[in-house]
């Protein structure tokens, strides 16, 4: 179903939003002064650092959550890399990061009704048997309400996604401000360069604001996974430019599994997340490009429920074949062939004088998850990898200066890193190599087409998941 385009903008208070973001460095300055006072009194430097980081994180993510828009979108993108932070620093503000994945201050009911009336017409209530004014979830550019659609005798439980008034303007304004606060974010993770992340998020804004485009992507996913025993994509029920109605998905959010899920269930969720990542380009020609835990539910029947298709990468030919081929060559130790392939794809600059064996040594540890039949992603592994690559005194740091990320691979790279971050939060053990063999073009040495071989997945007993 499609509604008529009847939209009115409700302006956001940009001056107020900018003031809140601008106040963040001032708050940090105060906390730094507090740290100086502790140094005078003889407190240990590591205690000062942890205290300043904790206070900074609490303030930072509180403001990002209040602002929604681009500020919260950035916070969500940053939160998936939490697993890479040193444990002694991640602990104090892990909870603040996680809050951004599932909750935000809700839009008042009166404002919700105004948006529905503008989008669906003054008599918008006639489409629903029931409509809950209290949002079930709130995120960066919109919030979701549970309702019952008037269809059939009993109706259809649905999720009604409503875009915040003025969300587009807020996204652009907030991301501009966030880009100016790069130094503040380095308090949370030294060496973190937020500018490329902000630039990539800006490139996705127009797509995420277009609910009709999102509906088309979700329909493509739903068709590709119709009847699938592993992945569930809810059907689109109706769409307007700023309202999207889809089937309701009941299940346990991955954020809850990360917090207190049984190991067997977390392993199942990790395997299915990897399956979605590698299979979607082959099956739907699309890659789900927003891999934070709030967008996934583990259903009572063991399937992975997938939400939010506002951000997708369009890969009509599936994952690029060179990724699979060069990965296999690297695992086989074919250093010269790997370097030649990287040069051909633009990962190594043509004029770069690098040693093939050194490049292979640089890449090989990152491929450990698929070098053996089974692997456990952990926070410790990700922290070690981040330290190995980012250590300015290490040999890999110097080599990294000669490597390049071609623009056509930028989004794939970000989504892959984000998915790995979630897997490390889950600390999930699974046969990831078999998923790659099944779905990644070029990886199977015998030339099998992605999806040829079924992967036996026996869902664990997960009674009690809602």
Lowest mean pLDDT among 95-99, 267-271, 422-426, 453-457: 453-457
Three-class SS state of 157:
strand
In this model, does residue 25 exceed pLDDT 90?
Answer: no
Percent of the chain scored above 70 by pLDDT? 62
Q: Is 7 domain-assigned?
A: no
Residues 67 and 131 grouped into a single domain: no
Q: Residue 250 in contact with residue 338, Cβ under 8 Å?
A: no
Its pTM surpasses 0.85: no
- Among the three residues 247, 272, 307, which one is the final residue of a domain in this structure? 247
Residue 79 sits in the same domain as residue 94: yes
Residue 5 lies in a domain: no
User: Is the residue at 2 inside a domain?
Assistant: no
Burial annotation 325-355 (CB, 10 A radius, 16+ → b, else e): bbbbbbbeebbebbbebbeebebbeeeeebe
Q: What is the pLDDT of residues 70-114, one digit of tens each?
A: 555 555 555 545 555 555 555 544 555 555 544 456 788 999 999
Q: Is residue 325 part of a domain?
A: yes
The whole-angstrom separation of Cα 81 and Cα 83 is 5
* Residues ≥6 apart with Cβ < 8 Å to 348: 339, 342, 354, 359, 402, 403, 404
Q: 307 with 446, same domain? A: yes
Say yes or no: 46 and 146 in one domain. Answer: no
Task: Answer yes or no: is 97 within a domain.
Answer: yes
**DSSP label at 348?**
B
pLDDT bracket for residue 22 (50, 70, 90): low
Residue 67 near residue 170 (C-beta atoms within 8 A): yes
pLDDT at 53 over 70: no
Answer yes or no: is pLDDT of 435 > 60: yes
Q: Assess whether 364 and 445 both reside in one domain.
A: yes
pLDDT recorded at residue 329:
96
Could you count the other beta carbons within 10 Å of the beta carbon of residue 160?
28
pLDDT above 50: residue 201: yes
What percent of the chain lies above the pLDDT cut of 90? 45
- Mean residue pLDDT of the chain comes to 77
Last residue of a domain, one of 185, 205, 225: 205
pLDDT tens digits along 248-278: 999 999 999 999 999 999 999 999 999 999 9
Same domain for 285 and 137, yes or no, is: no
Three-class DSSP category at 280: helix
**Same-domain pairing of 142 and 87:** no
E strand or H helix that includes residue 172: helix 167-180
- 140: domain CATH number is 3.30.200.20
Is residue 4 assigned to a domain? no
Q: What pLDDT sits at residue 462?
A: 40
pLDDT at 187 over 60: no
**pLDDT at 328 exceeding the cut of 90:** yes
Judge if 25 and 68 occupy the same domain.
yes
Question: Does 230 lie in the same domain as 151?
Answer: yes
What is the Cβ-side half-sphere exposure of residue 352, based on CA atoms within 13 angstroms? 22
Question: Is there a domain that residue 6 lies in?
Answer: no
pLDDT higher than 80, residue 153 = no
| Beta carbons within 8 Å of 67's beta carbon, 6+ residues apart | 17, 20, 21, 170, 174
Residues 47 and 188 placed together within one structural domain of the fold = yes
What's 108's DSSP letter? Answer: P
Tell me, yes or no, whether 303 and 217 share the same domain. no
Query: Does 330 share its domain with 234?
Result: no
What's residue 405's pLDDT?
76
* 86 in a structural domain: yes
Question: 285: domain range?
Answer: 252-466
User: Does residue 9 have a pLDDT over 60?
Assistant: no
Mean pLDDT value of segment 21-47: 40
How many domains would you assign to the chain? 3
């Amino acid at each position: 179903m499609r509604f008529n385009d009847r939209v009115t903008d409700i302006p956001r208070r940009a001056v107020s939003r900018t003031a809140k973001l601008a106040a963040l460095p001032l708050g940090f300055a105060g906390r730094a002064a507090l740290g100086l006072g502790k140094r005078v009194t003889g407190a240990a430097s590591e205690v000062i650092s942890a205290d300043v980081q904790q206070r900074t994180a609490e303030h930072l993510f509180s403001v990002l959550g209040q602002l929604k828009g681009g500020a919260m979108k950035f916070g969500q993108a940053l939160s998936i890399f939490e697993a890479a932070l040193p444990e002694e620093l991640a602990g104090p503000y892990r909870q603040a990061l996680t809050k951004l994945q599932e909750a935000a201050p809700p839009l008042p009911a009166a404002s919700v009704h105004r948006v529905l009336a503008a989008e669906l017409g003054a008599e918008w209530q006639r489409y629903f048997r029931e409509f809950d004014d209290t949002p079930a979830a709130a995120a960066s550019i919109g919030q979701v309400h549970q309702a019952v659609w008037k269809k059939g005798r009993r109706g259809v439980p649905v999720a009604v996604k409503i875009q915040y008034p003025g969300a587009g303007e807020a996204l652009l304004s907030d991301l501009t401000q966030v880009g100016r606060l790069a130094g503040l974010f380095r308090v949370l993770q030294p060496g973190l360069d937020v500018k490329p992340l902000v630039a990539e998020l800006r490139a996705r804004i127009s797509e995420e604001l277009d609910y009709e485009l999102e509906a088309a992507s979700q329909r493509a996913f739903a068709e590709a996974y119709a009847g699938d025993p592993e992945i569930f994509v809810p059907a689109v029920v109706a769409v307007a430019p700023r309202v999207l109605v889809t089937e309701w998905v009941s299940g346990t959010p991955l954020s809850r599994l990360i917090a207190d899920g049984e190991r067997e269930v977390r392993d199942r969720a990790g395997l299915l997340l990897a399956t979605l990542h590698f299979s979607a380009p082959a099956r739907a020609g699309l890659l789900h490009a927003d891999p934070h835990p709030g967008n996934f539910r583990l259903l009572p029947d063991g399937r992975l429920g997938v939400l939010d298709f506002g951000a997708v990468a369009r890969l009509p030919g599936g994952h690029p074949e060179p990724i699979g081929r060069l990965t296999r060559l690297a695992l086989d130790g074919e250093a010269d062939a790997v370097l030649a392939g990287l040069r051909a794809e633009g990962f190594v600059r043509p004029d770069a004088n690098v040693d093939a064996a050194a490049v292979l040594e640089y890449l090989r540890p990152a491929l450990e998850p698929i070098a053996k039949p089974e692997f456990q992603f952990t926070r410790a592994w990700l922290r070690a990898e981040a330290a190995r690559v980012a250590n300015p005194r290490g040999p890999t740091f110097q080599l990294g200066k000669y490597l390049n990320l071609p623009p056509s691979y930028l989004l794939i790279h970000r989504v892959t890193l984000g998915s790995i971050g979630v897997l490390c939060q889950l600390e999930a053990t699974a046969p990831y190599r078999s998923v790659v063999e099944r779905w990644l073009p070029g990886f199977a040495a015998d030339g099998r087409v992605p999806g040829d071989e079924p992967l036996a997945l026996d869902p664990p007993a997960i009674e009690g998941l809602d």
